[in-house]
Amino acid sequence: MSDDTKLPLTSDNPSEALLAQLREQAPHLFSEGKVDWDKLKATLGEAIETGPERYGLTWAGKSEAFRNVQIPSVGTLLPMPEESVNFDTSENLIIEGDNLEVLKLLQKSYHGKVKMIYIDPPYNTGNEFIYPDNYREGLDEYLRYSGQVSDEGLKQSTNTETSGRFHSKWLNMMYPRLFLARNLLREDGFLAVSIDENESRNLRLILDEIFGEENFVGSVVWRKTSGGNDTEFIYVHEQVLLYKRSPQAHLGKMRQSDMHLANFDNPDNDSRGLWSSSDYTSKWSKQERPSLWYPIKNPNTNVDCYPPEGRTWAYSKEETLKNISENRLWWGKSGNNERPRYKRFLADVKEGMPPRSWWDDVGTNEEGFKTFRALGFDKNNFPHPKPIGLIQRLLDICADKDSLVLDFFAGSGTTGQAVLERNTEDGGTRKFVLTQIPEPIDDTILTTIAAVCRERIRRVSSKLKDAEIGNLNLEGKAELDRGFRAFRLSSSNFKIWDANHAAANAQQLAEQLQLYADNVEGQRSQDDILFELILKAGLPLSCKVEQTQVDGKPVYAIANGQLLICLENPISQELLRGMMANEPLQILCLDAAFHGNDPLKTNVVLEAKSRGITFRTV
């Protein structure tokens, strides 16, 4: 039986996917299965930079960090129903584990499905942050750190400013995660990254490289605190760098309730109410837009006014005449300004205005902690949670009401709370995926930050449900999804052959191969196996799972029957044909269930193919 019937148990390799696209679009660039560099240069000509000096950011370990992107994960995500809320019905996810491994595992199922990614990564402040000292170890390092294997735990590395690779270590941690995150975004999706002054310049450069500098949207500066105690220079702000996945992404408007009313006034007592003014000129020159260069007569002074040098008016002459007739030009309180400004009325912007780069009305970190403490937590649980308002502002301008939102540095779960509360306010159906490493904290009950994240969402869910029960205005509305499915990163449920550790002795090699005849690991439940197969078959972890009977045997119907999974061992021809009769798109079974009956497997593959069904084993 050919290997193409076996379900790959490793995560997708982004480089292989890129090569497949290149091979399809330009097969002439390949020679003996590899890209011919000379042909590529000849095809692209001057588009390739070959000089020894070029613009960009490099650092110690960059090539190793990029190679780490290409190493597939052999892990899985084990379900934790006992840690969840409404596990069977919820489409929200909270995943405990190293986010690099998790991002690799999500590549197939969530590729191009996320509308907004928000992350608040550990800032490079000279304190400790958790990362693998050996990037090539990947999952093995994480399993030691999280205590899932009995070995020395992964160390917390102190990245002091005296370290020769102070910036490099942080960039090595961030680069592969951001690279993989981009693959998960929809074409109209956005990435938002909170950062402070220590690494903002370097973060901007690596995001320019990964996303393309043309997809940089802007830098939001928001007031994080009302004060400070630094005697030399007090930072009261942080930044959020915004990038779009492609030119198809367009920011939404700020909600009218969030617009800064201080920007609106009515100095001329206009009957239409409050208005704000904006520049009436454009960036174009007279040579570029000659039709937009013309005089506008100030009605108060009867003087012809022209655009400043190197600019034109923003509106055509016809539009300007219309604006004058509608009293939409403002010449200043004295009435004798040399150039007008455009009056934009608050009543005309019901859907909000374009977001500005300075946010001082989304809440401070102090307010973020008050929200956290109101749920019964303290600083030992998590010292600096972001304010809910910051995340909700990003949701409003970067996502839709039915969007999928990802936060892979989830911390205490602020993003999850922001999503649940915004859904309650506007009836949206936004979903979240949160990922957090189980970093230990000083708490005897909630022993890790990942545990705090789950508990926070549990408390928020309960609080919102209690409020809904007491609010008669919400009666009769569809029940909102306020639960989550919890998962944790671990090793695969299946024994995965590692040629690097294969025995050299023929007898020992035969014994090793015999151990892999039944490749299912012991001490794992059917649910553990089930969700690994769902994920690696390319379906989301949030999809509907139903158990049904076929030929008297239990079969799992996934995503309304798109995928049928049978974990019976042994398996019969009648059971296999019964599954095919349900006309799924895919069928998955255990390879060991055939007990070496290759003719049966061959016949099943051919029959499934004739019905348009993909049949695979694992």
Cis peptide before 570 (omega within 30 of 0): yes
146 Cβ neighbours under 8 A, 6+ residues apart: 97, 438, 489
Same domain for 109 and 189, yes or no, is yes
Model confidence at 512: pLDDT above 80: no
> Would you state the structure tokens that stand for residue 205, as one six-digit string?
């450069």
Query: Do the Cβ atoms of 93 and 534 come closer than 8 Å?
Result: no
**Residue 174: band (very low, low, confident or very high) from pLDDT cuts 50, 70, 90:** very high
Q: Are residues 579 and 484 part of one domain?
A: no
Q: Is 48's pLDDT higher than 50?
A: yes
296 and 366 share a domain? no
Q: Is residue 59 part of a domain?
A: no
In degrees and rounded to multiples of 5, residue 26 shows phi and psi of -145, 70
231: confidence class by pLDDT, cuts 50, 70, 90: low
pTM exceeding 0.85: no
Which CATH number belongs to the domain containing residue 478 in this structure? 3.40.50.150
Final residue before a domain boundary, out of 348, 363, 387: 348
Contact 275, 343 (CB under 8 A): yes
Query: Does 559 have pLDDT greater than 80?
Result: yes
Residues 250 and 360 grouped into a single domain: yes
Looking at the domain assignment, is residue 64 inside a domain? no
Please state, in angstroms and rounded to a whole number, the distance separating the CA atoms of residues 472 and 612. 51
Question: Which pLDDT score is estimated for 308?
Answer: 92
Q: Are residues 146 and 21 in the same domain?
A: no
The answer to whether position 65 is within a domain reads no
pLDDT tens figures, 275-325: 888 899 988 899 989 999 999 999 999 999 999 999 999 999 999 999 999
Q: What is the amino acid identity at position 507?
A: Q
Among the listed ranges 32-36, 98-102, 333-337, 525-529, which one has the minimum average pLDDT value?
A: 32-36
pLDDT at residue 163 in the model: 54
**Cα angle: 243, vertex 535, 529; to 5 degrees:** 150
Q: What would the mean pLDDT of 204-232 be, rounded to a whole number?
A: 88
Same domain, 253 and 278: no
Starting at the edge strand found earlier in the chain, the sheet holding 358-359 runs: 75-79, 485-491, 93-96, 431-436, 404-407, 114-119, 185-195, 237-244, 216-223, 358-359
What is the pLDDT at residue 257?
63
Q: Looking at the domain assignment, is residue 48 inside a domain?
A: yes
Tell me what percent of the residues of the chain surpass a pLDDT of 70: 86
Task: List the domain range (segments joined by +) for residue 503.
Answer: 496-617
Final residue in a domain of this structure, among 490, 511, 533: 490
Mean pLDDT of 602-607: 94
Domains of the chain: total: 4
> Can you give the length of the chain in residues?
618
362 and 270 together in one domain = no
Let me know if residue 62 belongs to a domain.
no
Q: What is the DSSP string of 21-80?
A: HHHHH-GGGEETTEE-HHHHHHHHGGGS--SS--SS---TTHHHHHHHHHS---EEEEE-
How many alpha carbons lie under 13 Å from residue 437 in its C-beta half-sphere?
24
Last residue of a domain, one of 441, 462, 490: 490
Examine the pLDDT at 517 and tell me if it is beyond 60: no
Q: Is 66 among the domain residues?
A: no
Q: Let me know whether 214 and 90 are in one domain.
A: yes
d(CA 42, CA 111): 32
pLDDT band of 495, cuts 50, 70, 90: confident
Query: Which band of pLDDT confidence, cut at 50, 70 and 90, is reported for residue 13?
Result: confident
The total of other beta-carbon atoms located within 10 Å of residue 492's CB is 20
The pLDDT tens digits of the residues spanning 565-593 come to: 999 999 999 999 999 999 999 999 998 89
d(CA 583, CA 557): 11
Does 231 fall in a domain? Answer: yes
Q: How many CB atoms lie within 10 A of CB 111?
A: 16
Residues contacting residue 169 through CB under 8 Å, at least 6 positions apart: 61, 131, 157, 159, 163
Pick the more confident residue, 236 or 392.
392
Whether residues 297 and 438 fall in one domain: no
394-424 pLDDT, tens digit each:
999 999 999 999 999 999 999 999 999 999 9
Q: Does residue 387 share a domain with residue 411?
A: yes
Does one domain contain both 292 and 277? yes
| Contact status, residue 456 vs residue 412, Cβ threshold 8 Å | yes
Residue 517 structure tokens: 């005849």
**418 located within any domain:** yes
Residues 103 and 252 in one domain: yes
Tell me the pLDDT of the chain averaged across its residues: 87
